[in-house]
Amino acid sequence: VTLATRGILAGLALIAAVKDEQGFVKNVFIQDEVFLSFGETVGPVYIVVIVFVLLAIVTQFFMKRTRAGTNIYAAGANPTASRLSGIHVERTLIGVYMFSGFCAALSSIFLSARMMTAMPEFGIGNELDVIASVVIGGTPFTGGVGDIWGTLIGTLFIALVKNGILKLGLSPYIQPIVIGGIIIVTVVMDVWYKSYAEKKATQAARKKAMQRQGGEA
């Protein structure tokens, strides 16, 4: 549903975008100095980097130190149990999606300011990079665990991989192949590790139960 809705909204954005005489989407050059200032630097550091770090710190604190953050983890891990415990799962999910949309809008503002142009089709297809960053950062598709710092590390890793491919002089079309492979390997390793951990926990529980029965005898 999420990806389908994303496709619908992306299509509507392209329909509403400015077109040239042939009907193709036309990039809009930005001349507003206030808007363009978001793409500038404070000393040697870009403003977007400062905002990104501050947002990561605030989000990490919210997720780990507040009740609402705990509710998000609970809703992701087990929606049914969360509802029984009194958590408004639907409201929580809507809040998460709203915050995700806010972050996407914020990133598009900074990106447009740096490039000094607005491109409606820019960013289409970047979902794979986002998924890879999150999964590599330790957040499984099943939800319930993970943090912002892990996602940050995953993001830096993906950026290094993509930059390394370009530095080696390889075709940029190899990037989605490599990133897709990384996602598959990461998911397989995560599933294997969870299965192994559950197996070890079951064996430990059985051993403890047998020892308890032997002591009672």
Nearest CA-CA partner of 18 in 7, 8, 29: 29
178-217 pLDDT, tens digit each? 988 988 998 888 888 888 888 888 888 888 888 877 666 5
Q: State the number of CA atoms in the 13 A half-sphere of 116 facing the CB.
A: 3
Provide the pLDDT for residue 84.
93
Is the Cα dihedral 78, 82, 87, 90 positive or negative? positive
144-178 pLDDT, tens digit each? 888 899 999 999 999 999 999 989 988 888 988 99
Cα end-to-end distance, the chain, whole Å: 56
Provide the pLDDT for residue 217.
56
Per-residue H/E/C for the chain: CHHHHHHHHHHHHHHHCCECCCCCECCEECCCHHHHHHHCEECCEEHHHHHHHHHHHHHHHHHHHCHHHHHHHHHHHCHHHHHHCCCCHHHHHHHHHHHHHHHHHHHHHHHHHHHCEECCCCCCCCHHHHHHHHHHCCCCCCCCCCCHHHHHHHHHHHHHHHHHHHHCCCCCCHHHHHHHHHHHHHHHHHHHHHHHHHHHHHHHHHHHHHHHHHHHC
Provide the pLDDT for residue 12.
84
Residue 19 in this model has a pLDDT that exceeds 70: yes
Report the mean per-residue pLDDT for the chain: 87
Structural domain boundaries in the chain: 1-124, 125-217
CA pair distance 167, 104, nearest whole angstrom? 28
For residue 83, give every residue at least 6 positions away whose Cβ sits within 8 Å of its Cβ, in sequence order, or none.
Answer: 89
CA pair distance 65, 101, nearest whole angstrom? 23
Its pTM stands at 0.79
